[in-house]
Amino acid sequence: MFKKFTTTTTLAFVACFAALAQEPVNNAAVQKIRTEGLEKSKAMEIAYKITDVAGPRLSNSPGLKRAQDWAVKYFNEIGLKNVHLEAWGDFGKGWQVDKYYAATTKPFYRPIIGYPKAWTPGTNGPIKSEVILIKADTVTDLNKYKGKLAGKIVMIESVAIQPLKNSYTPDVVRYTDEKLAEMAAQQPAAEGQGNRPQRSGNNQMAMMMRMRQNRAAINEALLQENVGLILTYARGSYGTFFTSNGASYALDAKPVSPELEISAEDYLHVLRLLRGGEKVEIEADIKTSFYNDDPKGYNVVGEIPGTDPKLKSEIVMIGGHFDSWHAGTGATDNAAGSTVMIEAMRILKAIDFKPKRTIRIALWSSEEQGLFGSRGYVKQHFADPATMAVKPEHEKLSAYYNLDNGTGTIRGVYLQGNAAVKDIFQSWLNPFEDLGAKTITIGNTGGTDHLAFDAVGLPGFQFIQDPMDYNTRTHHSNQDTYDRLVEDDLKKSATIVASFVYHTSERAQKIPRKEMPKPAPARQ
């Protein structure tokens, strides 16, 4: 564990590190940033607006629109310029849950923990049905149910559903010194590997594809039978479930049946009863709405304009994705990262910083469906990864900093394989060692919006964050709510980001770049 942070750290302490480093650090500016970020933070007020007030922020949903409208208003209130919603391209239809209720009524009454799958229809009013356990490995096996399923609530038998096991490891963890040292010692990946995880073997992939195809065919047959509701098993335990989508968001998407994802405990309870020959009755009432009027996706953008005559056309960017899944309120994924970046901009405005380079924040949409917001923005402003033909702004960007790994405080930076920035970033981290931030790793966390920048040869970075309960409890789950945010962690992270942005803006040269990548085929 690292020490509790304090704003009384002396400038001599900071200067000691700066003197050992080649990259200059403005100690006075760091102290101003620390005081504003750690003693006068607005982080939890910002997070409250994004989560409790705006609610779930599924792509193109009313919740995301509420959050975006609030962000535009707040950006203007703190004095950002060029504030606007910027379309990145077509997404599709929005969706939200208007009503959800489900419970077993036989053999006894018990409310069900669950939530409708995203982009699925409702039940068209209350329904009550004996639950039918469908035993079908192929569509042909469904013939015995033909004409018997209209309006029924069904579950599909699967040997993949296994009893739950107790967990004996803590939900919430922070990085140990040993783990951080291991990350710092990581070596660059071999050319072409890019620190990517190993893919599953061909046999396993083929088996998964067959299972998906078979399930899709069964779902199509159930749609033709006009089933009332499909119950599916949600990954998770102890009342936490991890949600997903049950249909396409495309404007011309094929219709699907109503589908309810329910907690493992409730699903297994019903399944055991049905396997034991008992009758189970469930009642449910689900209403969902679709939004087709504006299929475009939007990012929220704002700036602190640069003031140096030679450098103000250059850009330092920060961001995080603003969209979320729908079972919680998207607190750790990714109101936390968005809060930190908004608070970093507020800090810089509060200390009356007049940057040399323009500082730009972007809150991305539709990251959860494939980094669409950031990829669309990068293609419009910087370069098309399919051709690698660059636009004029490509030369102007110094760096992009991203945050999207939960509420955990920043412990360092992933270099994304860019060894040339190691000493620069180490110098900028040194003043924050007392906050636990000291680690530089050549590796990459992957999976979020900095990849859109890296894909076209721009310096894009994600910070190392303490894992907390992100992967065990909150990521895409019904537990991803305001209560899971750690205030001290958000304060520390915003302070560190603000300092990184400050020094990137004031640096004589732009951040070094890696070699320009080769064109990549368009994503399907």
- pLDDT, one tens digit per residue, over 93-133 is 999 999 999 999 999 999 999 999 999 999 999 999 999 99
pLDDT, position 201: 53
**Region 366-380 average pLDDT:** 98
Same domain? For 439 and 329 the reply is: yes
**Cβ atoms of residues 283 and 128 within 8 Å:** yes
512 falls within a domain: no
Question: Which is more confident, 22 or 118?
Answer: 118
- Does residue 524 register a pLDDT over 60? no
Provide CB contacts within 8 A for 432, sequence distance 6+: 410, 438, 492, 495, 496, 499
Residues 396 and 487 placed together within one structural domain of the fold: yes
The length of the chain is 524
The whole-number average pLDDT for the span 213-219 is 83
Averaged pLDDT, 496-523:
93
407 and 285, same domain (yes or no): no
Distance CA 105, CA 103 (A): 6
Return the percentage of the chain with pLDDT > 70, whole number: 92
Would you say 334 and 404 are in contact if contact means Cβ atoms under 8 Å apart? yes
**For range 316-327, the mean pLDDT:** 98
What is the pLDDT averaged over residues 71-84?
98
Does 17 score more than 60 pLDDT? no
Q: Are residues 262 and 226 in the same domain?
A: yes
Buried b (16+ CB within 10 A) or exposed e, 364-403: bbbbbbebbbbbbbbbebbbbbeebeeeebbebbbbbbbb
Residue 432 has pLDDT above 90, yes or no: yes
Question: How crowded is the C-beta side of 283, counted as CA atoms within 13 Å?
Answer: 9
Position 159 pLDDT exceeds 50: yes
If asked whether residues 349 and 497 sit together in one domain, one would say yes
Whether 465 is covered by a domain: the verdict is: yes
What is the average pLDDT across 229-236? Answer: 96
Q: What is the pLDDT of residue 212?
A: 76
Claim to verify: residue 276 and residue 375 sit in the same structural domain: no
The whole-chain average pLDDT of the chain stands at: 92
Domain final residue, candidates 234, 260, 291: 291
pTM to 2 decimal places: 0.92
Greater model confidence, 348 or 20: 348
Average pLDDT (189-216) is 63
User: pLDDT, tens digit, for every residue of 92-101?
Assistant: 999 999 999 9
318 in the same domain as 376: yes
Q: Is there a domain that residue 13 lies in?
A: no
Per-residue confidence at 200, pLDDT binned at 50, 70, 90? very low
Same domain, 61 and 149: no
Domain that residue 379 falls in: 33-92+300-506
Count of CA atoms in the C-beta half-sphere (13 A) of 149: 25
pLDDT of residue 58: 98
Give domain status of residue 209, yes or no.
Answer: no
Residue 523 domain-assigned?
no
> Which whole number is the average pLDDT over 5-30?
60
Task: Enter the tokens of residue 13.
Answer: 């302490």
Mean pLDDT of 182-191: 85
Which has the higher per-residue pLDDT, 254 or 6?
A: 254
The answer to whether residue 355 scores a pLDDT higher than 50 is yes
Q: What is the pLDDT of residue 198?
A: 43
Res. 197: pLDDT tops 90: no
Q: Are residues 229 and 88 in the same domain?
A: no
Mean pLDDT confidence for 161-190:
92
Contact assessment for residue 304 and residue 358, using Cβ atoms and an 8 Å cutoff: yes
The mean per-residue pLDDT over the stretch 226-238 comes to 96
Q: Is the confidence at residue 211, as pLDDT, over 80?
A: no
The number of folded domains in the chain is 2
Q: How far is CA 250 from CA 271, 288, 320, in A?
A: 33, 16, 24
Res. 15 pLDDT band, cuts 50 70 90:
very low
Q: What CATH number corresponds to the domain at position 50?
A: 3.40.630.10
Q: Are residues 248 and 390 in the same domain?
A: no
Residue 22, pLDDT > 90, answer: no
Domain-located, residue 6: no
* Mean pLDDT, range 461-483, rounded to an integer: 97
Comparing CA positions, the residue from 99, 88, 103 lying closest to residue 124 is: 99
pLDDT at 202 > cutoff 90: no
Asked whether residue 204 is assigned to any structural domain, the reply reads no
Distance CA 47, CA 332 (A): 10
Residue with the bigger pLDDT between 82 and 141: it is 82
The verdict on 241 and 341 lying in the same domain is no
More confident residue, 211 or 263: 263
Residues 321 and 426 in one domain: yes
Question: Among residues 244, 264, 291, which one ends one of the domains?
Answer: 291
Give me the CATH number covering residue 103. 3.50.30.30
Residue 69 lies in a domain: yes
416 has pLDDT over 80: yes
* Range of lowest pLDDT (41-50, 119-128, 188-197): 188-197
Q: What is the mean pLDDT of residues 67-79?
A: 98
Question: Partners of 468 in the beta sheet?
Answer: 173
Is the separation of the CB atoms in 411 and 436 below 8 Å? yes
The residue from 253, 271, 291 where one domain ends is 291
Q: What is the pLDDT of residue 328?
A: 98
